[in-house]
Structure 1
Amino acid sequence: MDSKRNLFLAQRLISGDSKAYDFLMEFYYQSLCAYAQSLCYDHALAEDIVQNVFVKLWVKRIKINPDLSIKSYLYKSVYNEFIDQYRKNKPVIYLEKKYFEAIDLVIDIEPEELGDLIKLMNAEIENLPAKCREIFLMNKMEGLTHTEISEYLNISLKTVEGHITRAFKILTEKLGTKMEAVLFLLFNFNKQKRQSSLR
């Protein structure tokens, strides 16, 4: 959405134009739900989050800065609503704090750019040397420790550590400084959720 259209819609929304509100909901609803679901991994909760965001958008429309991007405002509102909902439901333990920190590192990226970055990371993981990729995924996806991988594959602990270090080096060179945060979002939080479901 270009800046002129953004300004026009923001001004109409602030003035109480329900058609501008309906347009924004129709235009952004599905993409915001997809973004919310990428945070909470729950379709119903994702829809609740987005609906709450749009309710608050209308209630607090007078406070909107028309010079700011409506798109960025909505995505950050979804993120904030997700945090609020999550903290109401359960205490934030250490691993989840790391998850929120990881989100903070990438939250200023446009959602499409983040999606592209995740696709690129998956592609680069597939391009890792076979043994390097296998060990990296055993550690990051399956949650096995270096010692467990060493015993399972019957290789030395030093060899395992070398492959994981090499994988990180390759991915960092290809993907830059946000690589670790995206890795955490892709693997560690999902791994914790799977482990919790087995208890």
Structure 2
Amino acid sequence: MVLASTNPNEPDLKEFEKVFRKYYEPLCRYAYSIVRDADEAEEIVQEFFYTFWLNRNRISIRLSLKSYLYRSIRNSALRYLQHKNIEDQYRTQDYALNHVESPEQVIQGNEMAGIIDKTLKGLPERTRQIFLLNRINGLKYKEIADLLKISIKTVEADMGKALLELRLQLKRAGF
């Protein structure tokens, strides 16, 4: 496909517009399937067509235009994801560096953990087991009830007892 007329100073804008109209939406959908962000997908395709137009006289398409377009969008989308991943890593590192706990916070956290541990050990076995299955293992009340072969109401009641006791002990300790 030729995007420049025989006179290199007069580009064939109509041919470019045809290509743009034909492929813009499908390329946006393709980019979205990779980046999972509609705005970014459109940005990738728009940026590609802008660069494509600027470099049209230097681009040599050996196979098919469609293959070239899709491969270019794929590469751009993958570069975007790679860049986003690096940004996320820096953001996580920056958060970790800026949110270092003070020695007082560490001591307070350890005290709280000790109170929670002591309170849990003082609970009846089934109540402790239900609490741990819910809060540590992330099981829902129905899953716990099925696992322990008890009613959901029993799970709810035991969770209520455990939470009440934890609140009471933490309040007594000044938390």
> How high is the TM-score relative to the length of structure 2?
0.44
Q: Relative contact order (C-alpha < 8 Å, sep 6+): which is higher?
A: 1
Higher helix share: 1
> How high is the TM-score relative to the length of structure 1?
0.39
Q: Which has the larger radius of gyration?
A: 2
